[in-house]
Amino acid sequence: MRDLSVNQLLEYPDEGKIERILWVDPAMSSIYAIDIHAPTGMPVFREAEEMERMRETGEWRVTEADPWLAFLADEGIPEAYRSKRDRAWAMIRALIFDQPAIFQSVSRSRTVQAAMAETGATKQTIYRLLRRYWQRGMTPNTLLPDYDRCGGRGNENPLQGKSVAGLRTGTIRASTSRHKCGTCFVRWLPGNSRRMIRWIFGSPTTN
């Protein structure tokens, strides 16, 4: 368990699923994780002893293949999408830092009810945003509209042909093909090779 950290992905080959670690107990005795593809997924609690047993029997393994990992600098994001992201972020920001309580169903229900009263958002909206935030890498940009929905059927994508400045990757050209929108870029934080800032904008690649 001591080699696991927040935002790492755990692949369960026999079950065909991948979980993202959302929280690690400071005592390394347990974690919370979420299935990154489950349409109705919510955090699940896992004890260290059980996790170690499952690792020894090959039931899970760490994977670096993050289908949600991508990057867009803010200046490359249309204002309309940034506005949507910021509104969504305002709805859940206070909730996500209430850890580990937000990962527990009873505590989460009470917190969501309070957020509904404060923001006017529906229960479904808040849960959808929380799920998206957790599944896709836990940064505000996970709340951006999906790239493959941009522009609408038959309309030009607003990012088509625009250059986007990367942090360590130089300048990239926004893809004009929808199937390429999952291109990934990462920036490693100094002094901690296990932590990454992830910027999410779009659907995962399928090839």
For 176-189, what is each residue's pLDDT tens digit?
333 333 333 333 33
Are 157 and 189 contained in the same domain?
A: yes
| DSSP-assigned letter for residue 162 | -
**For residue 72, pLDDT beyond 70:** no
Are 80 and 59 contained in the same domain?
A: no
Q: Which domain holds residue 47?
A: 9-63
- Backbone φ and ψ of 169, nearest 5°: -100, 5
161 within some domain? yes
Are 159 and 107 contained in the same domain?
A: yes
Are 155 and 108 contained in the same domain?
A: yes
Are 78 and 49 contained in the same domain?
A: no
Q: What pLDDT is attached to residue 108?
A: 97
| Residue ending a domain, choose from 25, 44, 63 | 63
Q: What pLDDT is attached to residue 154?
A: 42
206 within some domain? no
Residue-wise pLDDT for 158-173, tens only, equals: 444 443 333 322 233 3
4 within some domain? no
Are 50 and 94 contained in the same domain?
A: no
For the record, the structure tokens of 22 come out as 């959302």
Residue-wise pLDDT for 118-162, tens only, equals: 999 999 999 999 999 999 999 999 999 875 444 444 444 444 444
Are 166 and 113 contained in the same domain?
A: yes
Only one residue has tokens 């059980």, namely 50
Are 144 and 46 contained in the same domain?
A: no
203 within some domain? no
Are 91 and 193 contained in the same domain?
A: yes
Mean pLDDT of 77-91: 94
Are 40 and 88 contained in the same domain?
A: no
Distances (CA, A) of 78 to 49, 71, 183: 46, 14, 18
Are 48 and 91 contained in the same domain?
A: no
Helix (H, G, I), strand (E, B) or coil at 190: coil
Q: How many domains does the chain have?
A: 2
Q: What pLDDT is attached to residue 179?
A: 33
Long-range contacts: 118-127, Cβ < 8 Å, 24+?
119/90, 119/91, 121/91, 125/91, 126/91, 126/92, 126/95, 127/42
DSSP string of 104-132?
SHHHHHHHHHHHHHHH---HHHHHHHHHH
97 within some domain? yes
Are 54 and 129 contained in the same domain?
A: no
Half-sphere exposure of 78 (CA within 13 A, CB side): 15
